[in-house]
Amino acid sequence: MSNDPQAIRRLVVLGRRYDRLFAIVGMMAMMVGILTLAVLLAGLIHDGAERLNWDFFQNFPSRRAERAGILSAIVGSSLVMLITAVTAIPLGVAAGVYLEEYARRNWITEIIEINVTNLAGVPSIVYGLLALGLFVYALDFGQSILSAGLTLALMILPVIIVSTREAIRAIPGAIREGAYALGSTRWQLVRDHILPYSTGGILTGVIIGLARAIGETAPIITIGALTFIAFLPPSPVTGDFPFLSFEWLESPFTVMPIQMFNWLSRPQAPFQVNAAAAGIVLVAMTLLMNGVAIWLRVRFRNRIKW
Amino acid sequence: MVDQTDHSFSVDVASRGDIDSVQGLKAEARNLSFFYGAVQALKSVNMPVYDSRVTALIGPSGCGKSTFLRCFNRMHDLTDHTRYDGEILFHPDNVNILRKSVDPIEVRMRIGMVFQKPNPFPKSIFENVAYGLRVRGEKNRSELADRVETALRDASLWEEVSGRLDSMAFNLSGGQQQRLCIARALATGPELLLFDEPTSALDPNATANIEDLIHRLREKVTILIVTHNMQQAARVSDYTAFMYLGELIEFSDTNTVFTNPNSKQTEDYITGRYG
């Protein structure tokens, strides 16, 4: 090692060269991802934009491509998501809170933890098979909105559990000690501190899970969703007492990705346009959900800084 | 569990020649040992805590003073694989608060704690102070408001925050946050207040404020304070305990400990020869 200024300069110039080289390689790697996505989206919009009008959202599927729409698919997707959210959120959050705050650390919880994480990686069609046996046949819910919603709930449960636990783990131990030192019970700690402070993280996980669920096709096909539905499920609100009806839970249904798949599998070109248009709507729905997740995260993070 | 000895504490106190036995007892550790798994952190500690007095715990890092403090509100119950041995008698009811049959939550309702780093909840100033009362089921708004104000006044924070009780506690400075935590602990009227190095994260000014406060608070509540700062112990406390390697080496009134310690180890420590 010498302190020769010339040598140092040469070393720096060489180092800088690698620096710049990696910047270029990294930029190109990033571009592969971004550009592919952009081209895909542009292609989708180019193919499908002409069909995106009010009628497309208002019409049922039809044998004539120009008159076909996604009404039943959008309603089906929304109702299935409703069931998924209503069942997966309380189960996932409760399980996450239990594992973090109540469960003692021992080999049983270790095994449960490893399994929960692994469940997140199980292929979705496997959930479809499980649901076919459990919900459709064993519990006799049939090929219904209820079965589909529960199937997807099962699928995103690990995602919600994991994100709940991560959000809870971000709460400093000092806050827990502070609450306990005032005489809180565990439940008071969870209700007044753990849940409010981890809401942002939990909601982010919930929305990411739902965004994944809304695009799922395989498990829904497995439990036997129909591909051609020209009616809406019975309305949940009725004219007679008790004004609420749950018949829609048992209704046959279709969802966005299945509608799209159905159109894609037809040979006629006009149906390909429909598929692309449905694709745009589906992408827009997931982007919107992810946008909401980001917004929630920023909002809650700004409110609570540890 | 040595329940039979529950009623013999007064004899024990009277027999201590070296300390003022006129003052009442608030609590007393008896043969208190504590284990983290297989590691013994406290070795058969015997120590009184006098009523309406400030008792300081000093000693080098890792000597077990914080561990000892945290026995008093059963904080160790929150950690797996910990074990208490011996007893802490709490007065006036003369109950061993370490007994398995005593609910730690009940203990914490009567014995408050202020931590090393200010740990306000990410809630408003008002909600922070009111939380202990809410835990106890207090819902009456005017009662809550009254007690929050009293607690904030007792913690000498009222003047600074009375106009912005609804603003977030995180907006306060470090010293104010620590006084808020003291107000939070005071609001429920604890009988004994534990301080775990309450000024170690604060600047000298805020430290002086807190020390002042602790000195005044002993009119209202018995205080047990852990400090790594010997000047602080000398300034705020009436009694001082010196701990080393999990053992209580010396306990006496603060003056004696600092001017005429019994043990060579205590003398070495307070003169700065180790620690």
Number of domains in chain A: 2
Residue A243's pLDDT is 65
User: What residue numbers bound the domain in which A243 lies?
Assistant: 54-303
By C-alpha distance, the chain B residue nearest A304 is B122
CB contact under 8 A, B75 and A180: yes
| pLDDT value for A57 | 75
Q: Is pLDDT above 50 for B226?
A: yes
pLDDT of residue A82: 87
Mean pLDDT taken over chain B: 86
- What's the CATH code of the domain at A109? 1.10.3720.10
How close B158 comes to chain A (CA, Å)?
21
**Closest by Cβ to B135, choosing from A172, A175, A182:** A182
pLDDT at site B104: 92
Please report, rounded to a whole number, the percentage of residues in chain A having pLDDT higher than 70: 91
- pLDDT tens-digit readout, A172-186: 999 999 999 999 999
| A89 and A231 co-located in one domain | yes
List the strands of the sheet with B82-90, edge to edge: B39-50, B25-36, B82-90, B95-96
CA distance A47 to chain B (A): 50
Same domain, A148 and A119: yes
A60-64, A106-110, A115-119, range with the lowest pLDDT = A60-64
CA–CA min distance B192, chain A (Å): 12
With a cut of 60, say whether residue A290 has pLDDT above it.
yes
A interface mutation test: which of B74, B81, B117, B121 has the most A CBs within 10 A? B121
Report the gap between the CA of A100 and the closest CA in chain B (Å): 13
Cβ atoms of A96 and A102 closer than 8 Å? no
ipTM: 0.86
pLDDT of residue B45: 92
- Complete DSSP assignment for chain A: ----HHHHHHHHHHHHHHHHHHHHHHHHHHHHHHHHHHHHHHHHHHHHGGG-SHHHHHPPP-SSGGG---HHHHHHHHHHHHHHHHHHHHHHHHHHHIIIIIS--SHHHHHHHHHHHHHTTS-HHHHHHHHIIIIIIIS---SSHHHHHHHHHHHHHHHHHHHHHHHHHTS-HHHHHHHHHTT--HHHHIIIIIHHHHHHHHHHHHHHHHHHHHT--HHHHHTT--S---SPPPPSB-SSTT-B--GGGGS----HHHHHHHHHTSSSHHHHHHHHHHHHHHHHHHHHHHHHHHHHHHHHHHH---
Same domain, A110 and A219: yes
B172 touches chain A (CB under 8 A): no
Task: Work out the minimum CA distance from B53 to partner chain A, whole angstroms.
Answer: 21
How far apart are the CA of A198 and the nearest CA of chain B, in angstroms?
11
In B, minimum Cα distance to A174 occurs at: B119
In a domain, B205, yes or no: yes
For residue B154, being part of any structural domain is answered with no
Examine the domain organization and report whether A186 and A257 are in the same domain: yes
Report yes or no: A299 at the B interface, CB cutoff 8 Å: no
- Decide if B188 and A183 are in contact by the 8 Å CB cutoff: yes
Predicted local distance difference test score (pLDDT) of residue A106: 83
Q: What's the confidence (pLDDT) of residue A302?
A: 65
Domain range enclosing B230? 3-119+192-270
B147 touches chain A (CB under 8 A): no
Q: Do A47 and A62 belong to one domain?
A: no
Range with lowest mean pLDDT among A7-16, A66-75, A103-112, B164-173: A66-75
**What pLDDT is attached to residue B274?**
64
Residue at B127 is within a domain: no
- B247 within domain boundaries: yes
Average per-residue pLDDT for chain A:
84
Q: Mark whether A35 and A60 lie in a shared domain.
A: no
For residue A30, pLDDT beyond 90: yes
Same-domain pairing of A64 and A152 = yes
**Per-residue model confidence as pLDDT tens digits over B2-27:** 344 343 333 344 344 444 444 688 99
A178–B119: do the CB atoms touch at under 8 Å?
A: yes
Residues of chain B above pLDDT 90, percent: 57
- Is residue B133 within 8 angstroms of chain A, CB to CB? no
Which residues in chain B touch residue A193, judged by CB atoms under 8 angstroms apart? 121
Q: Mean pLDDT lowest for which of A169-173, A258-262, B129-133?
A: A258-262
Work out how many domains chain B is built from and give that number.
1
In angstroms, what separates the C-alpha of A306 from chain B's closest C-alpha?
A: 8
Using the predicted structure, report yes or no on whether residue B112 has a pLDDT greater than 70. Answer: yes
User: What whole-number percentage of chain B has pLDDT above 70?
Assistant: 91
Determine the pLDDT at residue A245.
Answer: 67
Q: Give the one of A175, A176, A183 whose C-beta lies nearest to B132's C-beta.
A: A183
The reply to whether A23 and A82 lie within a common domain is no
B152-166 core/surface letters (b: 16 or more CB in 10 A; e: else): bebbbbbebbeeebe
d(C-alpha A201, C-alpha B37), whole Å? 34
pLDDT in tens, B43-93: 999 999 999 899 999 998 889 999 999 999 999 998 888 999 999 999 888
Whether the CB of B48 is below 8 Å from some CB of chain A: the reply is: no
User: Residue A251's pLDDT is what?
Assistant: 74
Residue B161 lies in a domain: no
B273–chain A Cβ distance below 8 A for any pair:
no
In a domain, B228, yes or no: yes
Query: In CATH, what number is assigned to the domain containing residue B220?
Result: 3.40.50.300
Whether B119 sits inside 8 A of A172 (CB atoms) is yes
Judged by CB atoms closer than 8 Å, whether chains meet at B80 and A105 is answered as: yes
Residue B46 domain-assigned (yes or no): yes
Highest-pLDDT range among A107-121, B5-19, B160-174? B160-174
Of A146, A126, A149, A130, give the one whose Cα is nearest residue A138. A130
In a domain, B159, yes or no: no
B191–A contact, CB cutoff 8 A: no
Which residues of A, range 77-96, sit inside 8 Å of B by Cβ? Answer: none
| A176–B contact, CB cutoff 8 A | yes
Please indicate whether residue A238 or residue A286 has the higher confidence score (pLDDT): A286
pLDDT at B15: 40
pLDDT at A2: 64
From chain B, pick out residues whose CB is under 8 angstroms from the CB of A176.
78
